[in-house]
Amino acid sequence: MPYRAEHPNRAPSSDQLRARIPGWGADLDAAQRPSWPMETSEPQPTGAHWEFPERQHDDGRRERSIEHETLPPVFGTAQPLHGVSGSIRRLAYRRFGEGKNTRWLLLVLGDRVEAVGAHLRSFATLRPDNPVTQTGVLAELRAHPVRSRFGRGRVDLRHAWLDPLIVASPWVLGAALVGSLLLRGRRRG
């Protein structure tokens, strides 16, 4: 059972592995292994003063996969889910297992919604996001963009044309939206 202080050896013995897997144990000679001086034959005590760790208080708002019956004894609570992105992520955890693509696509969508929200919140601060310097556009222009891509066998060359669209289109669309709202407000006023 997981989360125990002692660590029982559940691994098969070397002889069992050697009989089952051809070539297994070719590096068993201690002189051949770079980590040998650090290894010890007897496991060191874990230092744990418990049989099973005390469980962290769960207020019921922590997500867990539907495959797992309980949460681990200790878990992070630093970034609780919030807003629309939190609702999307909760849906992914509540309805879909870890083996479903739908779950992971919903988690990615929640991440993107959170990123857009963070960009929008940055405009309410004294230092809003700067897409020109923070996306590396200027560094790309200084680092020989054409020469570094062609004739080098780069795998990402097939989709490199998408990079400006993915990086710049949200900012261009946002600027167009703000511009149209300003024009509409000026016409009314």
Residue 33: what pLDDT? 64
Long-range CB contact pairs, 86-95, < 8 A, 24+: 86/110, 88/113, 89/63, 90/63, 93/63, 93/64, 93/65, 93/66, 94/63, 94/66, 95/66
Predicted pLDDT of residue 84: 94
4 touches 52 (CB < 8 A): yes
3-state secondary structure of 8: coil
Backbone angles phi, psi at 46, to 5 degrees: -75, -20
In one-letter notation, the amino acid at residue 119 is H
pLDDT of residue 98: 87
Place of tokens 């261009």: 172
**Mind listing the pLDDT tens digit of every residue in the chain (189 residues)?**
466 667 666 778 888 888 888 777 766 776 666 665 565 666 667 777 878 888 888 877 788 888 887 888 888 878 888 999 999 999 999 899 888 899 999 999 999 999 889 988 988 999 888 877 777 777 777 877 777 777 777 777 788 788 778 878 888 888 899 999 999 988 887
Q: Which of 140, 103, 134 is nearest to 118 (CA)?
A: 134
